[in-house]
Amino acid sequence: MRVQQIPARIRWAVEVMDIRPDDHVLEIGCGAGYGVEAICERLETGKMFAIDRSESGVDRTKRRAHKYIEAGRLTVRQIDLATLRVPVRRLDKVFAFNVNLFWVRDCADEVTLLHERLVAGGAIYLFYEVTRTQSAPEVIKKSSAALLDAGFRVSVVENKAPAVVGIIGRK
């Protein structure tokens, strides 16, 4: 089977995250594994933990990124974010792309959990592809409010081509 290239929207988002070789990164909703691949190729001593609640998402990520799993750089698990078990103050960066839980419903518990798991100075990066049906201002407003309520300092980045919005919460 032909392996799909990492899309430009993911490449742009990972550039914004400025991944360091020793970062500890969590991805929520890894899906096809594009983000995992783009991040793992930048890690050296760092580690990545990727979760998706769907079996097919986890299978696709494992297939795409098996070399990083074998190298001990990547762990992939089928779990819902609400049940995440990671020690507190362990993560440098949290990444989620097109994961709508941050703007379609109350996500206060999940965002608080992520705030606790990040190191001081760590950050959460929520990206949204603007071609989708929901309006960008609505996504920015709801995601920003959720991050602010949990104690993050929030900033927004926007790009035209690829059309991506990023809501960044710094601890």
Shortest distance in whole angstroms from residue 109 CB to ligand SAM: 11
- Asked if 52 touches ligand SAM (CB under 6 A), the answer is yes
Closest CA relative to residue 165, chosen from 9, 5, 6, 4: 9
Site for ligand SAM in 74-113 (CB under 6 A): 80-81, 97-99, 101
Residue 171 tokens read as 């601890």
d(CA 20, CA 1) in angstroms, rounded, equals: 32
Shortest distance in whole angstroms from residue 66 CB to ligand SAM: 18
d(CA 92, CA 116) in angstroms, rounded, equals: 11
**DSSP track, 83-124:** G----TT-EEEEEEES-THHHHS--HHHHHHHHHHEEEEEEE
Please choose, out of 50-58, 115-123, 136-144, 155-163, the segment that lies near ligand SAM by the rule CB under 6 A.
50-58
Site for ligand SAM in 55-74 (CB under 6 A): 57
- Asked if 29 touches ligand SAM (CB under 6 A), the answer is yes
* Binding-site ranges for ligand SAM (CB under 6 A): 28-29, 31-32, 34-35, 51-54, 57, 80-81, 97-99, 101
